[in-house]
Amino acid sequence: MIKLLTSLLGRFLFRDRGILPTKRLLLLFTVISTVLLIMSILGVPWEWLIIANGCLLGASLLDLLYSPSRKELTFSRELPKELERGIEYEGKVKIANHSSYPISLQIIDDLPQSFARPFPLFANANPTVETTVHYQTKAPVRGRYHMKKLYIRYRSRLGLWDKQTSQDIVEEVKVIPDLTDTRHYLENAQQFLVHEGKDILKRKSDVGEFAQIRKYVIGDDPRKINWRQTAKLQELMTNEFEPEHGKHVTILIDCGRMMGAELKKGNRLERSLESAITVAAASLQKGDQVSVLVFSNGVKVYVPPAKGMAHLQTILQAIYHVQVDPVESNYGEVLRYLETVQKKRNLLMLFSDVRTFLHEESALVYLKRLRQRHLFFMIGVEDETLQARVADEPVELKTAVVKSMAMQQLLVKSVKKRSGKSRAYI
């Protein structure tokens, strides 16, 4: 009995096959039944009333003959296989009506509940013509999703009955991080270098990789003269060096509890992922070898180092689905793991919560050991609320107390960073 009721409920909830009366038919029956009831009060025999209702029902069923069968309708879905988080995309549903009757339809696509769902969609499909219905959707949560069905209701020619059907269209959709910043960098990397060159840096002589030996020209550093080649060729020759290529960059992404703090747009993990992918793209474009390690209380994902822009897609496919774990980050475990997998000199870039890292004593011990071989750089998200409280004018007692507490937190953080630098080279 329960199974039967569930099946009937599914028919009315746009989930199953079936034939349903429309509001037009129900209204028509209500009006005619009222008229027949009044006629019965006036003395018309009941037999005539039953025959009239039966004729009306039979006439309405004839309307079903002027609607296509389910086999005469075919549907297909077009939606990008990869969607960027928070960006609107267009989906399409194509309808092919192989019958000789025009129909009006309602369509519901099997999008995940977290997606924007502008359903039902309304459309008209003419005979022997393919109709396309467009809709807009966006996904706020990263991950891998599966869509299985397309649900359709179409109305008979007179609009008295709705036929309900579904079509199996199994597809997989991946929601990846927002790559807007990465695209902007790759399209115009020069705009990110507008501040480069303001500070004059002293460079050591003979730094970088040896490129070639060429003739000495006026203005070259005399210290770079190659005296052996000069003696052979009987003319001044100098060594030419170029910046190092193929450096190793390791990006560490924290997925611990503190990275779930919500920001104006997404949370800390979302912003860290988007920034890390942009950094990876910039490094790969320069010819560096990039590896990525994602962790919380242990290592979740590790992408070995490689170079070339094709490696960016490998990184993206490996980390697009990572989520915040409700556990504390184990920095010591991750830094110990790095000692085993990174033998060459690396630039380590840690995307995490700075305050949490500074309070982790074991992390500083392992970091001091790593710093003997590698360079370490940490990136965090600025606490805008804390900065706003520090900038408040202490016009009343409550504001002054909040401002003093915010300044105390900044002071403690600054002291920790200075002490960490002397002990662990942060």
pLDDT in tens, 29-52: 788 778 777 777 777 777 777 777
- 70-176: which CATH architecture? Sandwich (2.60)
Give the pLDDT mean for 93-116: 90
- CB contact set of 371 (below 8 Å; sequence gap of 6+): 424, 425
Task: Give one word for 18, left, alpha or beta, with left for phi > 0 and alpha for psi -120 to 50.
Answer: left
Q: What is the pLDDT of residues 189-203, one digit of tens each?
A: 555 554 444 444 444
pLDDT of residue 201: 44
What distance in Å separates the CA atoms of residue 81 and residue 173, rounded to the nearest whole number? Answer: 5
Nearest to 296 by CA among 265, 269, 262: 269
Q: pLDDT of 393-414, one tens digit each? A: 888 888 888 888 888 877 777 7
Segment 244-254 mean pLDDT: 84
Ranges in the chain annotated CATH 2.60.40.10: 70-176
Residue 426 has pLDDT above 60, yes or no: no
Radius of gyration over every alpha carbon of the chain, rounded to an integer in angstroms: 35
Contact 406, 389 (CB under 8 A): yes
Q: Is the pLDDT of residue 262 over 80?
A: yes
Burial 113-130 (b: 16+ CB within 10 A, else e): eebeeebebebebeeeee
Cα 6 versus chain centre, distance: 36
Q: Where in the chain is the domain with CATH 3.40.50.410?
A: 248-424
pLDDT, one tens digit per residue, over 271-324 is: 999 999 999 999 998 889 999 999 999 999 999 999 899 999 999 999 999 999
Fold of 248-424: Rossmann fold (3.40.50)
